[in-house]
Amino acid sequence: MRRVWLLTWLLISSLAWAADNRWSSPSFSIPAKDLLELCGPVQTSNAHGATVLLDDTELKIDSENRVVLRYHGIYRIDTASAIEGWSSVQAYWSPWHQKRPSIRARVISPDGVTQDLDPKTLSDSPARDQRPEVYEDNRVMSGPIPAIKVGSIVEEEETTEDTEPLFKAGIVERVFFGRSAPVKYTRLTVDASSSLPCATPVSYCHRYRSPRRKMAAGSGSSSKMVR
């Protein structure tokens, strides 16, 4: 029997729910000035240097266990110390069973000027494994995000798509909640074929409690909102 398991680890102590439904808008659809307003003012007291406003992951799993993984994120640069660490995008992929990733990003300056990521600045290179005895074809596409400064809003989207399933008999996907900066709104959406039994066991941290739930075969899709 084919089985799909989704494992989620909650790595932060609490996540706030954003009531404004604009956070559910399609990627890059919110006008620049509206997004600036939605993200709010710079928090100069933020010790982490950046604030993640949206941390959105979507998994689509078809009947053959092929996965489309899409990440959509929006964050604000609060202090100059965060610029270096938050000024690039990347996506990992394996050519033997995945298409080349799609990467998009835009930077909105504090005065509302938008600059898009130039796809020509992206590079594709081997993903280095720290274990010399391991041989693999994993690669990483990455590139610099342009024109970042304090007060900038960065919106990014990375999509990887399987051409062949990693394992035909079943797969495990791990999704980590939390970043190295405060997160305002996070969401995980799982859309699995109705022919696949799908379970979502949750390993949670000491201050977060979420009931375990299992998607029954034939349920078609599932959406989990984390508050």
Which tokens belong to 192? Answer: 């699995």
Which of 35, 56, 53, 33 is CA-nearest to residue 43? 53
d(CA 13, CA 209): 10
Please count the structural domains in the chain: 1
Which tokens belong to 178? Answer: 């939390």
CA distances to 57, 101, 148, 164 from 63, in Å: 20, 21, 41, 12
Sheet holding 114-116, edge to edge: 114-116, 102-108, 153-161, 67-77, 50-61, 186-192, 222-226
Q: In this structure, how many other beta carbons lie within 10 angstroms of the beta carbon of residue 181? A: 19
For strand 153-161 and strand 102-108, is the pairing parallel, antiparallel, or unpaired? antiparallel
Q: Which domain holds residue 146?
A: 3-226
Q: Of residues 124 and 201, which shows the higher confidence score?
A: 124
Measured on CA atoms in the order 186, 75, 107, 19, is the torsion positive or negative?
positive
d(CA 202, CA 191): 17
| pLDDT tens digits, 62-107 | 989 999 999 999 999 999 999 999 999 999 999 999 999 999 999 9
| pLDDT tens digits, 177-226 | 778 899 999 988 888 888 887 766 655 554 444 444 444 344 444 444 34
Across 18-47, average pLDDT: 90
> Count of alpha carbons within 13 Å of 214, Cβ hemisphere only?
8
> Residue 172: what pLDDT?
80
Q: What is the CATH number of the domain that holds 58?
A: 2.60.40.3140
> Count of alpha carbons within 13 Å of 45, Cβ hemisphere only?
0
